[in-house]
């Protein structure tokens, strides 16, 4: 393999060799070059240099995550992971390179993996079974026509750009409160004095509950986006802090 190629480097723990072999066969059948190390010379200098060379020259790096990688807190595959991450330091954030694959029920939130793995989209291929859409995704990521906006590292064609902070920012939340407060005053003014405070208080409480619900949605959406690598966390990207909108104690009782 000379120079930067369209090869895919498959990194795996030795216990996951069968799953790795299955995953390797499907892309190769589709015309994709895959490097799958099955050498018996692991640990020797020549072999180590070859692995470093392949990681340096590959187009995509696919680390397999499983209960075996969870159990092995030390292993050569972890060196491969670190070598791949070192290479990303010379890449634009929009360039696809890391494509983590889980081959069993290991949860990505609990996986013992480097942080950069969590910043991209993960794929689940139980037992190494590889559906056609995964092969199409790999071909898409290898395509030179892939635009930078679509090439969120490890992403699919359905992702057109990094997702920024959710739209309900502090000004929007304050505007909602203001509208409901004005409505409360207008309605209360139409009733007898004895009913004003009760009606106004109820409407203001309703407004505050709406703000609270929007804040909860904001936190949940951003958490999901961040977990799936869709939230733009680069320097300069703004993310609204939902806790910056104060809520009176007792208003949501």
Q: Please count the other Cβ atoms lying within 10 Å of the Cβ belonging to residue 231.
A: 21
Which residues, including other chains, have CB under 8 Å from residue 10's CB and lie 6 or more apart? 20, 23, 24, 34, 35, 36, 62, 64
Q: Is the dihedral of CA 83, 86, 87, 92 positive or negative?
A: positive
**127, 88 Cβ separation under 8 angstroms:** no
Using pLDDT thresholds of 50, 70 and 90, give the confidence band for residue 212.
Answer: low
With a cut of 70, say whether residue 151 has pLDDT above it: no
At residue 191, the pLDDT reads 53
At residue 233, the pLDDT reads 44
At residue 7, the pLDDT reads 87
At residue 46, the pLDDT reads 84
At residue 114, the pLDDT reads 95
b/e string for 36-52 if b means 16 or more Cβ within 10 A? bbeeeeeeeeeeeeebe
Residue ranges and CATH numbers for the domains of the chain are 8-142 (3.40.50.10140), 170-244 (no CATH)
Give the 3-state secondary structure of residue 108: helix
For 121-142, what is each residue's pLDDT tens digit? 999 999 999 999 999 999 999 9
With a cut of 80, say whether residue 153 has pLDDT above it: no
At residue 239, the pLDDT reads 46
The mean predicted confidence, pLDDT, of the chain is 74
In angstroms, the CA 104 to CA 126 distance is 5
Longest CA pairwise span in the chain (Å): 90
With a cut of 50, say whether residue 81 has pLDDT above it: yes
Percent of the chain scored above 90 by pLDDT? 45
At residue 172, the pLDDT reads 56
- 202-228 average pLDDT score: 66
At residue 143, the pLDDT reads 84
Q: Which of 4-18, 153-167, 210-224 has the highest mean pLDDT?
A: 4-18
- 225-250 average pLDDT score: 47
With a cut of 60, say whether residue 112 has pLDDT above it: yes
At residue 210, the pLDDT reads 72
Q: Please count the other Cβ atoms lying within 10 Å of the Cβ belonging to residue 195.
A: 12
With a cut of 60, say whether residue 45 has pLDDT above it: yes
* Residue 96: CA count within 13 A, CB half-sphere: 31
At residue 154, the pLDDT reads 45
State the DSSP code for 89.
Answer: T
At residue 242, the pLDDT reads 44
**Pairing, β 60-65 against β 34-36:** unpaired
């Amino acid at each position: 393999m000379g120079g930067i190629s369209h090869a895919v480097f498959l990194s795996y723990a030795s216990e996951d060799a069968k799953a790795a072999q299955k995953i390797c066969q499907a892309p190769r059948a589709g015309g994709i070059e895959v490097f799958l190390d099955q050498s018996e010379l692991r640990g020797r200098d020549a072999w180590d240099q070859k692995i470093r060379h392949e990681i340096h020259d590959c187009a995509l790096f696919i680390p397999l995550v499983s209960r075996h990688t969870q159990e092995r807190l030390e292993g050569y595959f972890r060196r491969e992971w670190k070598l791949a991450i070192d290479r990303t330091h010379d890449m634009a954030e929009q360039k696809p390179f890391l494509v983590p694959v889980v081959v069993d029920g290991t949860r990505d939130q609990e996986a013992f993996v480097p942080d950069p793995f969590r910043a991209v989209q993960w794929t689940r291929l139980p037992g190494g079974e590889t559906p056609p859409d995964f092969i199409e995704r790999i071909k898409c990521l290898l395509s030179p026509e892939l635009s930078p906006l679509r090439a969120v590292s490890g992403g699919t064609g359905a992702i057109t750009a990094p997702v920024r902070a959710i739209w309900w920012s502090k000004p929007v939340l304050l505007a909602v409160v203001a509208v409901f407060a004005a409505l409360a005053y207008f309605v209360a003014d139409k009733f007898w004095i004895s009913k004003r405070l009760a009606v106004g208080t109820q409407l203001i409480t309703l407004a505050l509950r709406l703000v609270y619900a929007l804040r909860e949605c904001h936190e949940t959406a951003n958490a999901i986006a961040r977990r799936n690598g869709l939230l733009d966390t680069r320097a300069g990207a703004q993310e609204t802090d939902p806790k910056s909108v104060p809520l009176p104690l007792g208003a949501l009782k």
